A and B are shown apart, each in its own frame.
Chain A
Amino acid sequence: MVFLIQQTMLYAVPLMIVALAGVCAERSGIINLALEGIMIFGAFVGVLFIRTMQENNLFGQESGQLLMILALLTASICGAIFSLLLAFSAINLKADQTIGGTALNMLSPAIVLFFINIIAQQNALMMAKGGAASWFMIKPSTFGLPNDHSWGAFIDLFINKVYLATYICMIVFVIVSIILYKTRFGLRLRSCGENPHASDSLGINVYKMRYAGVTLSGFLAGMGGFTFALTTSNCSSTGQVAGYGFLALAVMIFGNWTPLNIAVGGILFGLFKCIAATYATLDINGDGVCLLAEIGISSYVYRLLPYLITLIILAFTSKNSRVPKAEGIPYDKGAR
């Protein structure tokens, strides 16, 4: 059970944060299809940062957490910079946002794989030494205790064999949700996605707000991308994130563009992902029986369920969807 919850958390948290990234952009009126691309870019930058620091011996294994936090920050900032490409074409040049996003989704894996091949002569960029578990995972030895130490089941759940990045993402998720829904800035940003002309008439700079939304979106997606690479693929970058960016879009739609529902959606879809990855050996209540494996539903069913559920939800909620009204429409001052 502990294993299942921890694993689900690993899959769910990147989904939540990237889905929130989608909300930031869409609430300001820009469709961000490039989430997948930004995640891939963020993962690459983070891994490259760690690799470079290790090669130059700037950080030892004992300061692994600090290195991880710096890498997370670098990945986020680079994600934000990368997303400016989308913002520029969508806001300044009034280009089609869907095509712009698709372009970024194609550009990111191409650039990343090109440089990975130049740097590592193969299709995957790894850490220079050690692995994610030995460097960045929180375990009893992090606190100077022997590795078989146990704090009891409940505390183990939260601090044994987990990653700090997961918690940072959770905190950022809460902070950004509060910014979006409880501050003046958030209200202004959201107004630009609903009725930009009204916002403009009240003295809000729609272009600036949309830039802010997309940049924030890129920041969160880069963070989610690196967290995903760190926690689920042993801190390596392979030019893909297994369709997570698109799954995050599904979570965003499932969550009806609101943070609380997104958290629920993220956990639900994360659970499906986790079941699909581990179902053959998953023993939920610890009695030695692998229940799901005995039911015998293929793991691909769990993998496609999130998309299917999203389609069905779309079909039933199309009438009262909370989709931002002005999303996808370039803002033209003269059209008022």
Chain B
Amino acid sequence: MLRLDSETGKAKWYKNEGTKSIASALVSILIGMCVGMIIIILVGLAKPEISTKGIMEGIKIVFLGVFSTGRAAGAVTFGFNPVNIGNMLFRGTPLIMAGLSVAVAFKTGLFNIGAAGQYLMGTMGTISVALTLGNSGIPSFIVWILAFTAGVVLGALWGCIPGAFKAFLNINEVITCIMTNWIAANLVTWFFDINDQFKNGADGGKVGYTIPLSNVDVVTPRMGMDVIFKGSQANGGIIIAIIIAIVVYIVMSKTTFGYELKACGSNMHATKYAGINSKRNQILSMAIAGGLAAAGASLYWLSGNTEFFWSTYQTLPADGFNGIPVALLAANHPIGVILSGLFMAMLNIAGLQLKTLTAYNEYIADIIIAVIVYLSAFSMFFKEIMNGRKHKKGGKI
């Protein structure tokens, strides 16, 4: 219910839906961080080799991980660290894209848990095209475009499968997404297993990795990122990701097509009645979601210095699943996804700092992320509290 201001006749800013979404996201983040903090304190107290100082350092790094500058004279120091911030932008790129993927599907009323599989298909397309054409004399920026496109197209096609199952057979997309995830994991492993030309045989002891794309010189331009964030892995990928997010925002909120997609998400029967082809829209929405997740993979591998561990048939890439918390935190708003994606990347970096600088390890970041997902599952509950609706006494919620 929207309460109007008695003087201006407009909705008060703090009763606004957007404000509430931001507030409930911040509450989730805060509780997630607190859970991480409590675990750090409890583990620190239980382990005799971790001192009180160690506990304090652990907590500080969880909150200020990207600003840590290493150890000086036995104490953890903080300040502007271009390497960490650059790496945060680099790690944030696939997270933003996966978050966009989940968000677009959510807007159409679909839960895209298949971003991991689409990410893997994009990986396969990009790496195979880039490595095949990289040394054939074609200018490298054309190869870059071809590789990127191949990844996106493969991911989009892979996303179409759950979409088509949903549209034509009315089968829950969650189940089909899970199945296609694992089919993709096995297909990709199979593909790289039988194609020896993509395997990195040069470095001894690195079994199971593909050749980095910098070897064939198909690399995203750094666009000045290497100057600003010296020594980090940051490149133009983050700029491309932000541009894509803005395009998605414009398409979703300013065009007829975007309106049709959102209409399918809010009321399927009404859209049919209004003459919108809801089946086509469901498939298209999943195709776009697949393309976005795959684009994240493409940008990540096209950075050049990353090597893909191809024997992945037993595990799915975490970046695909992390798209879910990114989208949930941003309340499916494409611009918000940029911020929440960078926030997740920041947690990742904080986790790595925790591993190198303290007795704790990087999985604390994953715990925090998981708690945030768990909490955002009942964002409805938070919003209800904020709406001031009191629970009936004695009655069950």
Contacts and interface: CB of A to CB of B under 8 A. Distances in A.
Contact of A117 (B363, B371, B373): B363
Chain B, interface residues (CB within 8 Å), range: 35 or more
B240 interface: no
B360 to A, nearest CB: 8
Contact of A303 (B186, B366, B396): B186
A24 to B, nearest CB: 18
Given A114-B39, A303-B313, A106 B370 contact: yes
Contact of A100 (B113, B179, B377, B397): B377
Given A118-B43, A243-B182, A311-B179, A103 B373 contact: yes
A308 B181 CA distance: 11
Q: Is the interface of A mostly helix, strand, loop or mixed?
A: helix
Of listed A98, A240, A247, residue having the most chain B CB within 10 A? A98
A246 interface: yes
A113 B363 contact: yes
Contact of A243 (B314, B374, B376): B314
B171 A315 contact: yes
Given A95-B378, A114-B361, A246 B367 contact: no
B47 A118 contact: yes
B179 A300 contact: no
Interface in B22-36: none
Interface stretch (B74-82, B146-154, B188-196, B257-265): B188-196
Interface residues of A, number: 47
A253 B175 contact: yes
A106 B321 contact: yes
Interface string A88-108: 010011111011101111110
A250 interface: yes
A85 B374 contact: yes
Interface string A233-253: 000000010110011011001
Contacts of B43: 118
Contacts of A174: none
A33 interface: yes
A94 B380 contact: yes
Given A99-B373, A103-B374, A110 B366 contact: yes
A109 B396 CA distance: 32
B363 A102 contact: no
A310 interface: yes
B209 interface: no
Contacts of A315: 165, 169, 171
Given A113-B363, A114-B39, A93 B370 contact: no
A5 interface: no
A318 interface: yes
The CB with the most chain A CB atoms within 10 A, among B190, B374, B380, is that of B374
Nearest to A114: B363
A318 B170 contact: yes
24 contacts: A31-B174, A33-B174, A93-B378, A94-B380, A94-B397, A98-B174, A99-B328, A106-B366, A107-B370, A107-B373, A110-B370, A114-B364, A117-B363, A118-B360, A240-B315, A242-B315, A243-B185, A243-B315, A246-B178, A246-B181, A253-B175, A304-B190, A311-B180, A318-B170
Interface of A: 31, 33, 85, 89, 92-96, 98-100, 102-107, 109-111, 113-114, 117-118, 207, 240, 242-243, 246-247, 249-250, 253, 298, 300-301, 303-304, 307-308, 310-311, 314-315, 318, 333
Given A98-B174, A311-B179, A315-B169, 4 more contacts: A102-B113, A105-B321, A304-B183, A333-B396
Interface of B: 39, 43, 47, 111, 113, 165, 169-171, 174-176, 178-183, 185-187, 189-190, 193-194, 313-316, 321, 324-325, 328, 359-361, 363-364, 366-367, 369-371, 373-374, 376-378, 380-381, 396-397
Q: Which 3 A-B pairs have the closest CB atoms?
A: A110-B366, A107-B370, A103-B374
